[in-house]
Structure 1
Amino acid sequence: MGKSIIEQVEAIITPVITEQGLELVDIEYVKEGAHWYLRIYIDKENGVDIDDCTNVSHLVSEVLDKKDPITQAYMLEVSSPGLERPLKKDEDFERFNGKLVRVLTKEPFQGYQEFTGYLVGLIEEDIVLEYKKEKVVIPRTIVEKANLTFEF
């Protein structure tokens, strides 16, 4: 089986985004109504602004037109990951140590599918949260989504 569209796009655009001093946070390729959307989320140390998004949009559009990994028409959107930034890479879990995060699991784990607590980090492949002075170790293999949050 070949690479998914998201994997292809990620391989093509990561160098372009990195060259701009930015980080590729996430990619979504979704159909909403009759239209397909390719959403690219970027970030940098002090946050991104509209100029960063506009610049990346032009550069990414150009490189994707050349490589053409997506056959149907789509809308390209480039934005900041926002306050509830997704956590995907090992570096994310290290960088946001001590921050409040929400983890959703694909299946119940210890009776729950949603965990909110302070990120302790990773132990091998597992996410460690502190909740009510106790550590919860969640296997990353069952994580549907993990993101920063500001609600407890």
Structure 2
Amino acid sequence: MAAAAGAEQVREILEPAVAAQGLVLDDVEIHRAGARSTVVVSLDLPEDDEGELDLDRVSDATRAVSDALDAADVIAGHYTLEVGTRGVARPLTERRHFVRAVGRTVTVQLADATTVAGRLTEVVDGEIVVVPVKPGLKGRRPTVGEPVRLSLTDVRDARVEVDLTGLGPVDDEAGADAGQES
């Protein structure tokens, strides 16, 4: 029977299997509950990959990860394997995370405790460019500021903001009348 392995040991085993699939091993977590364990593996695309991390690629990677874990026999007892992507709620911590978030709305907290919120437009060398956007009040258009260059070394926390504007029914009269013919 295998001894209980730590996340770092499992990471070392899984990185080559994931890399062989053309992906990046973003994170490994092991949760134990009694005699059972859950191994949670987060995958990402390399920075230069413009493709999508779709279900087919995740499925192929899951098989490779499962095979690598079975061959190494490092997880003691029965375990559940969960393989997926980082998800939208995870912080942006690597340059490649920012590259994949270009075009999305982000909130960036800096080392000096200031916060910049807006559209991430570019990642150049060790900097990101964010165009600040302040939401408009009561139906007014948002205020768009001048682009701000931020050093990645000054970023303490950054997250993609889920933008749900434009979803759902239109509430104003102009929008309700737009679909009616005269």
Q: Same fold (TM over 0.5)?
A: yes
- List structure 1 segments (4+ residues) > 6 angstroms apart after TM superposition: none
In 1, are the aligned partners of 2:27 and 2:43 still within 8 Å (CA)? no
Note the residue ranges of structure 1 that are not aligned, 5 or more in a row: none
Letter matched to residue 9 of structure 1: V
Report percent identity of matched pairs: 25
In 1, are the aligned partners of 2:26 and 2:44 still within 8 Å (CA)? no
Identify if the C-alpha distance between structure 1 residues 147 and 74 changes in structure 2 by more than 3 Å, giving closer, same or farther: farther
In 2, are the aligned partners of 1:127 and 1:140 still within 8 Å (CA)? no
Which residue in 2 is equivalent to 1:81?
Answer: 86
Q: Scaled by the length of structure 1, what TM-score is found?
A: 0.61
In 2, are the aligned partners of 1:27 and 1:41 still within 8 Å (CA)? yes
Asked if 1:5 is matched to 2:6, the reply is: yes
User: Structure 1 or 2: larger strand share?
Assistant: 1
Identify if the C-alpha distance between structure 1 residues 88 and 6 changes in structure 2 by more than 3 Å, giving closer, same or farther: farther
| Alignment partners' CA distance in 1, 2:131 and 2:98 | 13
Give the number of the structure whose alpha-carbon radius of gyration is greater.
2
Identify if the C-alpha distance between structure 1 residues 39 and 116 changes in structure 2 by more than 3 Å, giving closer, same or farther: farther
Asked if 1:150 is matched to 2:150, the reply is: no
| Alignment partners' CA distance in 1, 2:16 and 2:44 | 14
For 1:13-62, what per-residue CA distance to the aligned partner results, in whole angstroms no more than 9, with x for missing partners? 222122223x235224153866643222334512311x433332222122
Which residue in 1 is equivalent to 2:27?
Answer: 27
Which residue in 2 is equivalent to 1:130?
Answer: 131
Instruction: Identify the match of residue 52 of structure 2 among 31, 36, 46.
Output: 46
Superposed CA RMSD = 3.8
SS in 1 for 2:92: coil
